[in-house]
Structure formats: C-alpha cells, structure tokens
Amino acid sequence: MQIISDPKELQLLMLNLKAEGKTIGFVPTMGNLHEGHLSLIELSKNKADVTVCSIFVNPLQFGQGEDLSSYPRTLKLDIQKLSAISTDYLFTPSEKDIYPLGKEIHTHVIANRLTEYLCGKSRPTHFQGVTTVVNILFNIVQPNYAFFGKKDYQQYKIISNMVNDLRIPVEVIGGEIVRESNGLAMSSRNGYLTDKEKQEAAILRQVILQAAEQIKQNQRSFDDIIQQSINTLSHSGFKVDYFEIIRQSDLHPADRDDSDLLIAVAGWMGQPRLIDNIEI
C-alpha cells in the first residue's frame, strides 16, 4: 500500500491512472478503522480497479463541545488493517493540506436539502463540514465510485444529493451496516463505551427491530410505536435524541401509506452519541 499525504501528488497519480483506463474506488474515513470501514474497502475492491482510502479527522464537521480533540487517532493500527486487505493507496492529508487558508475562510459547500432533520437538529453545522470536505476529497481523488456506510444514513443521502445537484461524476454507493455480536452497529465512537454500557447499548438494535416488526405487521400508528420505543430506550439508560419513522427518499416523517421507510434513532449511552437505523 502506498501512503500519500500531498494532495497534488495523489491527484496527479489518480489522473494518470484514469488516463490509463483504470477505475478508482474511494472510501473516505476519519480513521480508527473497524469492520464497517473494511467492508467498504472490500466493496470498492470488487467494483474498481484501484482503491483509495483517506484518513482525515475533519475539524469542520465537529461542533463546539464535541469530541474533536479526543477523537481516536490510531494511524499505525489503521495502516496495518488496510495493508492486510491489500488497499492500494492511503491518503493522509494534514489540516493545512485540506484547508490551506484556514477552515473558516475556505469555500464551504452547503447542502440545503435534508440537513435540518435528524442529526442536523442537534448538530447544526455538522453536515456542512461533511459536504465541504467530501467535495475537496472527491476533487483530489477523482473517484468513479465512493463508498459510505449506511449507519450514517443521513450523511449517505446528503452526499448522494450533493453529487446529483452539483453534477459530480461519482457514483455514491451505500454499504450495509456491520454489527458487533450483540447487534450494536460498529462505530469508532463505540470505543468510548465501558463494557457494561456496550452490553446495555444492544437495546438500541432490539428496539428498532421491534418497531420494524410492528410496522411490518401493519400496525400503522407510528406515533404510538415511536413513543413506546422512546420509553423503552429511556428506561434502559439511553438518553434519546430522536427516534423517527421517516421516508427513505426525503427523510420526512412517514405517513401511514408510505413505503420504503427508515427507522432512525440517535442518543447517548453514557458519553458517546450513538446512531442506528433500519430500512423497511
């Protein structure tokens, strides 16, 4: 695996590979890689000739009081994991490489649609940070395909819309959620959980599955299902941010007759804010 931190060097390399007719698959990450990330690398390896992973803890997507300074940085271990599955390139830019003039005065990409719902309510500047950095990374890496985990379903949808709206020639592909043995969705932030909290956090998946089952059984009082689910989670030590039943297409609250639904949940178990979802 070749490790490159200079954006110009990587961009030139990618342009040359594409000129040779090679397709590029890209998995952007913030590091602290787990099985979820590695499953995206595998998807990319199956789809594209060349796979690039980036590791950049993007300061622009962290709000005031969030965990930017304590976010787990495990580059050595990440390199071992990526090498072990034969990733072709790892891009590790510095903050100055990405925002040479400073992140505040850098051009920002504002995704208007879908950012004010779900996680956007409690993290109002988060998605602007994501769309800005993903745009910069796309322009450096020049991928044909880009892979995003569907645990961050809202991010996946916002980036898909951005690519459509701005006519960016990249195919955005969502990867299925990878879970711990107790059902907890894998996340870099799971490392903040104590062993006890990790066990307790399994309730998140159980409650989502229960709600999904009720919907499949045609119990269509969504308000009741939502309230019941919030109560169960709250009694299990989970501080609920939201529990919503929405349409996959536009993330709006679903009506009784809608199909292609998503149950999405977020909240705090101890210190970390966890999210999870299920497509129905």
Question: Which one of the listed residues 34, 37, 106, 252 is annotated catalytic?
Answer: 37
17 binds ligand PAF (CB under 6 A): no
Among 10, 25, 29, 38, binds ligand PAF (CB under 6 A): 29
Whole-number minimum distance, CB 274 to ligand PAF, in Å? Answer: 14
71 to 110: interface string for ligand PAF, x by CB under 6 A = ----------------------------------------
Per the listing, tokens 């299925």 go with 176
For residues 129 and 267, which CB has a smaller minimum distance to ligand PAF in the complex? 129
- Sheet of strand 89-91, all strands in order from the earlier edge strand to the far edge: 2-4, 89-91, 50-55, 24-29, 145-149, 171-175
Q: Rounded to an integer, what is the distance from CA 228 to the centroid of its chain?
A: 27
Residue 175: strand pairing partners: 149
Stretch that binds ligand PAF, among 24-32, 92-100, 105-113, 173-181 (CB under 6 A): 24-32
Q: How far is residue 19's CA from residue 17's CA, in Å, rounded to a whole number?
A: 5
Instruction: Write out the DSSP string of 102-133.
Output: -TTTSPP----TTTTSTHHHH-TTHHHHHHHH
Q: What angle separates helix 153-165 from helix 126-141, to the nearest 10 degrees?
A: 60
274 binds ligand PAF (CB under 6 A): no
Q: Does the annotation mark 37 as catalytic?
A: yes
For residues 56 and 222, which CB has a smaller minimum distance to ligand PAF in the complex? 56
HSE (side-chain half, CA atoms, 13 Å) at 106: 22
28 binds ligand PAF (CB under 6 A): yes
Q: How far is residue 194's CA from residue 271's CA, in Å, rounded to a whole number?
A: 10
For residues 11 and 210, which CB has a smaller minimum distance to ligand PAF in the complex? 11
Active-site positions?
Answer: 37
Residues engaged in binding ligand PAF (CB under 6 A): 28-30, 58, 61, 130, 133-134, 152, 155
